[in-house]
Amino acid sequence: MDYVAALVPPVVMAVAFIALIVTIVRSQGGANKAKEDAAVDAAFARAEAARQPAEGSGA
């Protein structure tokens, strides 16, 4: 029975790792991708807009 106790932790870690990979792959794309991309684009636009006046006033 020692071999069962020795094999349980690697098997549990393997199952958890596979579940993590499946979750990551499923979260890529899909219905939420457009909303996530729009949120990132809006954040970049705000950062760029905030940076533009600061660059122009330093001359």
For residue 46, the enclosing domain spans: 2-56
pLDDT surpasses 70 at 3: yes
CB 49: neighbour CB atoms within 10 A? 9
Q: Indicate if the pLDDT at residue 57 is higher than 60.
A: no
| 28 φ/ψ sector (left φ>0, alpha ψ -120 to 50, else beta) | beta
Give the model confidence (pLDDT) of 7-51 as tens digits.
999 999 999 999 999 998 888 877 777 888 888 999 999 998 888
* Number of domain units in the chain: 1
pLDDT of residue 35: 82
Task: Collapse the DSSP code of 1 into the 3-class scheme (helix H, G, I; strand E, B; otherwise coil) and give the result.
Answer: coil
Q: How confident is the model at residue 58 (pLDDT cuts 50, 70, 90)?
A: low
